[in-house]
């Protein structure tokens, strides 16, 4: 895995340098007329070179840096699709231009797919091993241990989640990460429905520090919501929230929902990108209602969830 990704990094860096420093040689080699927009070709070279640097960094730990591999894999899929559109449908480029697809894209499909599969298996196995060793909190199937977990979970309000649930029902929303467009959509939904959730306290669980979370919640007018930092995912596991399979993270439904939620934007990944979210109503240390997301794009109806609280 490491060697393959380093080879990809070296190839991209060299190819990018060639396109930047000797931009006309590619066109001369193919016997094509030199374009007037040669600076755009040099920009392509810069982008390819940056990908190469990313691959070299990711080679240190493929399982940890899988988002870099995923972005590269998607680029290697969309590149040939773009060429098919440009040549066969729009007739914008000659067929010989596609010679670059073989070394830039096609030969990397299987290695990159195997690396992503490896990353998924490693991350899943690591999470399962932690459960077996008792590192993570017990699940809510054991109420006494769940109550202990709630009591040991501090909130930004200065009290435990258990204490918070003793005073009023609490809508506990688990985010995947603040860079996720669906999580940003969830925050926007919560902000839009705050008036309908009167009498229910909102608590947002995340995997970063409270200092990082505070501006993200404030951006969506949720500064008054309780924030819970859970980088070790103790609470995620106590509420039996699963890690997603490939289809739950990148399946067709997720892709289509992403087109709907794109306006919320995306950001950097911080935390476990495989983790699925969920929403719960808890009161007096007990789970009253639960919604565990079926995939990354799930959009719970928070008002309906809180209706019986």
Same domain, 148 and 268: yes
Pairing of strands 226-229, 278-283: unpaired
CATH code, domain carrying 196: 3.40.30.10
Same domain, 277 and 218: yes
- State residue 133's pLDDT score: 41
**Any residues with CB less than 8 A from the CB of 12 and at least 6 apart, and which?**
48, 49, 51, 52, 55
Same domain, 144 and 114: no
C-alpha R_g of the chain: 24
Same domain, 144 and 126: no
Same domain, 45 and 94: yes
Domain boundary among 130, 153, 180: 130
* Residue numbers of the domain that contains 121: 2-130
Same domain, 125 and 216: no
CB 9 within 8 A of CB 53: yes
Nearest to 236 by CA among 159, 184, 292: 292
Has residue 124 got a pLDDT over 90? no
Same domain, 51 and 174: no
Same domain, 109 and 147: no
Give the tens place of pLDDT for each residue, 175-200: 998 889 999 999 999 999 998 998 89
Same domain, 291 and 191: yes
Same domain, 191 and 55: no
CA angle 219, 170, 295 (to 5 degrees): 70
What average pLDDT does the structure give for the chain?
88
- Show the tokens assigned to 4: 């393959």
Domain boundary among 130, 155, 179: 130
Give the tens place of pLDDT for each residue, 3-61: 999 999 999 999 999 999 999 999 898 888 888 889 999 999 999 999 999 999 999 99
**159 burial class (0-12, 13-18, 19+ CB within 10 angstroms)?**
middle
Domain boundary among 130, 157, 173: 130
Same domain, 62 and 94: yes
- State residue 245's pLDDT score: 86
DSSP, collapsed to helix, strand or coil, labels residue 171 as: strand
**Mean predicted confidence (pLDDT) in 154-174:** 95
What distances in angstroms separate CA 255 from CA 109, 245, 295, one per listed residue? 20, 14, 11
Look up tokens 């977990």; give the residue.
149
DSSP, collapsed to helix, strand or coil, labels residue 292 as: strand
Confidence of residue 222 (pLDDT cuts 50, 70, 90): very high
- State residue 253's pLDDT score: 85
Q: What are phi and psi of 295, to 5 degrees?
A: -155, 180
* Measured distance CA(96)–CA(100) in Å, rounded: 9
Long-range CB pairs of 140-145, under 8 A, 24+ apart, other chains included: 140/238, 140/239, 140/240, 140/287, 141/240, 143/286, 145/238
What is the maximal distance between C-alpha atoms in the chain? 76
Has residue 82 got a pLDDT over 80? yes
Give the tens place of pLDDT for each residue, 279-293: 999 999 999 999 999
DSSP, collapsed to helix, strand or coil, labels residue 62 as: coil
Cα dihedral 177, 261, 71, 76 in deg (nearest 10):
160
8 forms bridges with which residues in the sheet?
A: none
Same domain, 300 and 281: yes
Has residue 264 got a pLDDT over 50? yes
How many structural domains comprise the chain?
2
Look up tokens 């054991």; give the residue.
142
């Amino acid at each position: 895995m490491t060697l393959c990704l380093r080879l990809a990094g070296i190839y991209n860096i060299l190819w990018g340098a060639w396109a930047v420093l000797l931009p006309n040689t590619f066109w001369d080699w193919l016997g094509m007329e030199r374009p007037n927009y040669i600076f755009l070709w040099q920009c392509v070279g810069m982008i390819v070179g940056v990908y190469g640097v990313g691959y070299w960094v990711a080679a240190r730990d493929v399982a940890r840096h899988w988002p870099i591999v995923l972005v590269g894999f998607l680029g290697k899929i969309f590149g040939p699709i773009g060429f098919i559109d440009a040549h066969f449908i729009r007739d914008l480029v000659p067929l010989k231009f596609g010679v670059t697809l073989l070394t830039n894209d096609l030969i990397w499909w299987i290695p990159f797919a195997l690396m992503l599969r490896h990353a998924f298996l490693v991350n899943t196995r690591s999470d399962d091993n932690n459960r077996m060793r008792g590192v993570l909190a017990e699940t809510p199937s054991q109420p006494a241990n769940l109550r202990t977990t709630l009591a040991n979970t501090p909130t930004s309000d200065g009290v435990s989640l258990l204490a918070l649930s003793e005073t009023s029902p609490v809508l506990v929303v688990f985010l995947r990460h603040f860079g996720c467009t669906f999580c940003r959509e969830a925050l926007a939904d919560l902000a839009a429905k705050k008036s309908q959730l009167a009498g229910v306290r909102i608590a947002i669980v995340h995997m970063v520090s409270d200092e990082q979370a505070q501006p993200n919640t404030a951006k969506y007018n949720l500064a008054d919501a309780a924030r819970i930092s859970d980088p070790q995912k103790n609470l995620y596991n106590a509420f039996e929230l699963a890690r997603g399979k490939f289809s739950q993270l990148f399946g067709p439904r997720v892709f289509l929902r992403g087109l709907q939620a794109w306006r919320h934007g995306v950001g950097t990944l911080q935390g476990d990108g495989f983790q699925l979210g969920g929403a719960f109503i808890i009161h007096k240390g007990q789970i009253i209602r639960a919604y565990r997301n079926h995939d990354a794009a799930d959009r719970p109806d928070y008002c309906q969830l809180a209706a019986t609280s």
